[in-house]
Amino acid sequence: MKKWFAVIGNPISHSLSPTMHETWLKQLDIDASYIPIHVEQNQLERAVESLKLLGCSGWNVTVPFKEEIIPFLDDVDDSAKGIGAVNTVVKSSNNKYIGYNTDGLGFIESLGPILPEYNVLLIGAGGAARGIAHAFKRKGYTQLTIANRTLEKAIVLVDELKTGQAWTLEEAENKLNKFDIIVQTTSLGMKNNDASLPIQLSRLKVNAIVADIVYNPLVTPFLEEAKKYNVRTVNGIGMLVHQGALAFSYWNGVKPDTEEIIQQLIEQIGGNYVNR
Ligand code: ATR
């Protein structure tokens, strides 16, 4: 049977994943397709049963189903267990559907080569920060700092990680020169959202890397500000592409090219900006 893949979510019409996966399938001459599926809020269990019944080869999961899908899967890999969220479902050789999470690792891969001794600051303590924090920990970065508007949420995340430290945003702003990698994970700066900065960057270290997981707009106000200090900036499109590339490799046993598709997606979302 011809392989087929999907992405489920609500809403789903603006997802860039179909373009990305279809492009890779074509580039690698794999006879398969990848389709977006809109799932109604209260229909997730039925949708998952249908995907299994119809022999879907694997699918991505996006908002708002990443947590809710777990009980409907046959098993969950360690990459998703700690976070309690799945973004990729893989059909195993014995036809079991296993949940993985490639978001955090995808983000780390989007940074390019980084050193194990780097100090990492995550701004925000929501779902996106949790995925990235767990991935950094799995990669051996135990000295993470989580700074959040609501300190209690950062403390909960640090307790869950059993490593790192929780700070207020003010503390992060004041001691910013400690950090080699700074990751903006809040929704601030997203199109049509609050354009204010979570922290000021005047104490930025000279060689710091500043990343934002938001990719629309491609250059958020936070990255715009970081550019004034001539540091390397990384936009959110890399995370999108690298989480997809990992999912693709789990399904097809081959890692697709990431550079070309990054340029293609940037054009698709209307940017012409290259920042790494
Ligand atoms: P996601 O799953 O995308 O991470 P989330 O779980 O709702 O979304 O988390 C949103 C994050 O953005 C939180 O860290 C939130 O801070 P609080 O925990 O204090 O709510 C942060 N955030 C949202 N709006 C913010 C703002 N105006 N200033 C600073 N942080 C903000």
**Segment 88-99, tens digit of pLDDT:** 999 999 999 999
* pLDDT band at residue 100 using 50, 70 and 90 as cut-offs: very high
Q: What is the mean pLDDT of residues 156-178?
A: 97
pLDDT at residue 272 is higher than 90: no
Distance CA 229, CA 206 (A): 8
Distance CA 259, CA 8 (A): 25
Nearest ligand 1 atom to alpha carbon 185: 4
* pLDDT band at residue 193 using 50, 70 and 90 as cut-offs: confident
| Mean of all residue pLDDT scores within the chain | 95
Q: What pLDDT does 53 receive? A: 97
Task: Establish whether residue 87 lines the binding site of ligand 1, counting it when its CB lies within 6 angstroms of any ligand atom.
Answer: no
In a 10 Å sphere around its CB, with 0-12 CB exposed, 13-18 middle and 19+ buried, how is residue 89 labelled?
buried
Nearest ligand 1 atom to alpha carbon 130: 4
Q: Which of 186, 192, 220, 222 to mutate to test the pocket of ligand 1 (most atoms within 8 A of CB)?
A: 186
pLDDT at residue 271 is higher than 90: no
Going by C-beta distance under 8 Å and a sequence separation of 6 or more, which residues neighbour residue 59? 5, 6, 7, 8, 37, 51, 88, 89
Q: What pLDDT does 273 receive? A: 52
In a 10 Å sphere around its CB, with 0-12 CB exposed, 13-18 middle and 19+ buried, how is residue 247 labelled?
buried
pLDDT at residue 276 is higher than 60: no
pLDDT in tens, 45-54: 999 999 999 9
Q: What is the mean pLDDT of residues 79-106?
A: 96
Q: What is the mean pLDDT of residues 47-64?
A: 97
Nearest ligand 1 atom to alpha carbon 186: 12
Going by C-beta distance under 8 Å and a sequence separation of 6 or more, which residues neighbour residue 76? 70, 86, 98, 99, 100
- Distance (angstroms) between ligand 1 centre and the Cα of 186 equals 5
Going by C-beta distance under 8 Å and a sequence separation of 6 or more, which residues neighbour residue 43? none
pLDDT at residue 226 is higher than 80: yes
Token representation of residue 215: 């990719």
pLDDT at residue 274 is higher than 60: no
* Nearest partner of 245 among 253, 99, 217, judged by Cα: 253
Distance CA 243, CA 215 (A): 14
pLDDT at residue 203 is higher than 80: yes
Q: What pLDDT does 269 receive? A: 83
Q: What pLDDT does 84 receive? A: 96
Q: What pLDDT does 275 receive? A: 43
Among the listed residues 2, 3, 26, 66, the single catalytic one is: 66
Which DSSP letter does residue 256 get? P
pLDDT at residue 6 is higher than 60: yes
Q: What is the mean pLDDT of residues 226-244?
A: 97
Verify whether residue 205 is a known catalytic residue.
no
Q: What pLDDT does 1 receive? A: 82
Cβ distance 144 to 133 under 8 Å? yes
- Distance (angstroms) between ligand 1 centre and the Cα of 101 equals 21
- Distance (angstroms) between ligand 1 centre and the Cα of 71 equals 26
Distance CA 114, CA 109 (A): 9
Q: What pLDDT does 270 receive? A: 76
Tally of CB atoms within 10 A around 71:
10
| Cα torsion angle, 214, 264, 245, 97, sign | positive
Compute the C-alpha angle 166/167/171, nearest 5°: 160
Task: Establish whether residue 198 lines the binding site of ligand 1, counting it when its CB lies within 6 angstroms of any ligand atom.
Answer: yes
* pLDDT band at residue 12 using 50, 70 and 90 as cut-offs: very high
Q: Which of 101, 149, 183, 239 to mutate to test the pocket of ligand 1 (most atoms within 8 A of CB)?
A: 149
Cβ distance 82 to 134 under 8 Å? yes
Task: Establish whether residue 102 lines the binding site of ligand 1, counting it when its CB lies within 6 angstroms of any ligand atom.
Answer: no
Task: Establish whether residue 18 lines the binding site of ligand 1, counting it when its CB lies within 6 angstroms of any ligand atom.
Answer: no
